[in-house]
Chain A
Amino acid sequence: MNVMTSGSKQFKVTPPEKGSFPLDHEGECKLFMIKYMRCLMENDNQNSECRKFSKDYLECRMEKQLMSKEDLKKLGFADLIPEV
């Protein structure tokens, strides 16, 4: 994929921290995805407004074994965790 050519700017890709998302073939979390996209459209693509929906999507993935379970705090959702 990447060849050490003598170019001036050579991009070097690195793997993501938690690896790759397994594909959601059955579309189990598609509903959450649609909700998130709708929020983005309504809010002019502002991520800050729609973080709740992205948290829901990731939670769905974790439940359906499409993502390894991770503490939401580590994923940057510390303020959205409901107080127990």
Chain B
Amino acid sequence: MNRLSSFLQKQCRLFAHQAKILQHPISNHLKSQWVKAYIILPKSSFPSASIQKFNNCHIIQRCAHTQQEKQKRSTVYYVIAVLVFVTGLSYAAVPLYRLYCQATSYGGTISTGHDVSKILENPKEAKKDRLITVKFNADTASSLTWNFRPQQTELVVPVGETALAFYTAKNPTEHPIDGISTYNVIPFEAGLYFNKIQCFCFEEQRLNPHEQVDLPVFFYIDPEFVDDPKLENVDSIVLSYTFFEAKDTEKFQNLPIFQHNRG
């Protein structure tokens, strides 16, 4: 490095003889970082006094880099790398988070891909000693004028047995209204074991004026519920449905929840 810097210094002096050296204020600033730096202009283009010209000049020789300069540069590269990594991570977080939530049932996620074969072939095997009380709750968004309520307040179901539950919805208004619903299961950990075979959620449901319909939910609780230590003391779960007004359902068709595991 020393040889290079001394070589460059020699080069600087060489150019200095060939051109007019200008001691511009900026070069003083540069000197604090650089060993030797000259703002050099070719003789021919040097007018008597013109500040603008200095902006067009070339720093012909970088006459030696200091250690500071090198460190600064590597710090800049490091920071840029960190930024890129963090940005990439934030984009990757969406599918990773989804996978994590399904695997661990974080936040009440009901796992996808549980298949119908988990239903007990022989219902008599249903463990009668583990009875779960499923409570039903119904909500509507404030903008939706349907009367939506469960037909039964609760249902006592052994683990592994299929069960049917009903909600009713009535449209008391004079015009047809489309609704779309979603659900939630509390406690969240039980959501992993709550398997819905068929329900009325996610698809737009149209109610004509003054029409009342029964909305069934056919579900069962996974037999592995009894093996989960976190759910040892859980005897009741709450299934809650909420209806929203469906305005522009084309938008919903593109949501990821519709695209995987549809029907």
A-contacting residues of B (Cβ < 8 Å)?
94, 97-98, 101-102, 106-112, 114-117, 119-124, 126, 128, 151-158, 161-164, 166, 182-185, 188, 191, 195-203, 205-208, 211, 213-216, 218, 220, 244, 252, 255, 257-258, 261-263
For window 15-65 of chain A, which residues contact chain B by CB distance below 8 Å? 15-21, 23-25, 27, 29-30, 33, 36-37, 40, 44-48, 51, 54, 57-58
| Contact, CB under 8 Å: A11 / B107 | yes
Chain B residues positioned under 8 Å from A46 (CB to CB): 156
| Contact, CB under 8 Å: B155 / A40 | yes
| Contact, CB under 8 Å: A75 / B112 | no
| Contact, CB under 8 Å: B112 / A21 | no
| Contact, CB under 8 Å: B155 / A77 | no
What is the distance, in angstroms, from A6's C-beta to the closest C-beta of chain B?
Answer: 11
Point out the residue from A24, A33, A67, A76 that lies within 8 Å of B119, measured CB to CB. Answer: A76
What is the distance, in angstroms, from A21's C-beta to the closest C-beta of chain B?
Answer: 5
What separation, in Å, do the CA atoms of A15 and B244 have in the docked complex? 16
Main secondary structure of the interface of A (DSSP, over half): loop
Chain B residues positioned under 8 Å from A19 (CB to CB): 198, 203, 262-263
Q: List 15 A-B contacts (CB under 8 A).
A: A7-B107, A9-B107, A13-B183, A14-B109, A17-B116, A19-B198, A20-B203, A25-B211, A33-B151, A47-B155, A47-B158, A47-B163, A54-B164, A58-B218, A74-B119
Question: Is A4 on the interface with B (CB-CB < 8 A)?
Answer: yes
Chain B residues positioned under 8 Å from A77 (CB to CB): 123, 162
What is the distance, in angstroms, from A82's C-beta to the closest C-beta of chain B?
Answer: 15
What is the distance, in angstroms, from A57's C-beta to the closest C-beta of chain B?
Answer: 6
- Size range of the interface on A? 35 or more
Main secondary structure of the interface of B (DSSP, over half): mixed
What separation, in Å, do the CA atoms of A14 and B258 have in the docked complex? 8
What separation, in Å, do the CA atoms of A69 and B201 have in the docked complex? 20
Point out the residue from B164, B199, B202, B255 that lies within 8 Å of A57, measured CB to CB. Answer: B164
What separation, in Å, do the CA atoms of A47 and B163 have in the docked complex? 6
What separation, in Å, do the CA atoms of A40 and B123 have in the docked complex? 19
What separation, in Å, do the CA atoms of A80 and B124 have in the docked complex? 10
| Contact, CB under 8 Å: A75 / B252 | no
| Contact, CB under 8 Å: B198 / A20 | yes
What separation, in Å, do the CA atoms of A44 and B152 have in the docked complex? 10
Chain B residues positioned under 8 Å from A48 (CB to CB): 126, 128, 156-158, 161
Point out the residue from B111, B116, B214, B215 that lies within 8 Å of A14, measured CB to CB. Answer: B111
| Contact, CB under 8 Å: A73 / B205 | no
